[in-house]
Structures are given as structure tokens and as C-alpha cells.
Amino acid sequence: MQKNIFNTKDLGLLIRKARKKQGLTQADLSGISGLGTRFIGEVENGKNTAHIGKVIQLASSLGLVISVGCDWMED
């Protein structure tokens, strides 16, 4: 399934939903991802100053893949 993300709030909600669907607490995800619970909470709340590399690491820990697409991009 693909989900369009238009802002940090959308991404945060998706990450929270994925975490809860897997039955994980923020502390559980912290242990899996190596990222702090404070950071996870900020991402889930849509904080727009989060480091993109850490957000990708967090998403990857939940089995999420982040991709970018556009009409003009070619392989």
C-alpha cells in the first residue's frame, strides 16, 4: 500500500500508526531503532525540524519504505 505524505504531520501520523499496529510502545521502538523516545514522540507529533536521516532510520525500523516520485523523473 502506498500513502502520500504532504507534510511532517502526515509522516508522523503514519509512523505512529505503524508502531501501534505492530503493538510497540515508543520505548520498544527506541530499543529497535536506537533513537530516543523524545525524538520518536517529536516525529509522531509532526515536528518539522527533525533530521531526515533519523526519520528514515525510524521508518525503516518499522518496515516502512520512503520513496519520492514525480511526473518528470525518469529511471
3-state secondary structure the chain: CCCCCCCHHHHHHHHHHHHHHCCCCHHHHHHHHCCCHHHHHHHHCCCCCCCHHHHHHHHHHCCCCCCCCCCCCCC
Domain ranges of the chain: 8-61
What class has domain 8-61?
Answer: mainly alpha
Q: Is the pLDDT of residue 73 over 70?
A: no
pLDDT tens profile 25-70: 999 999 999 999 999 999 999 998 879 999 999 999 999 999 888 8
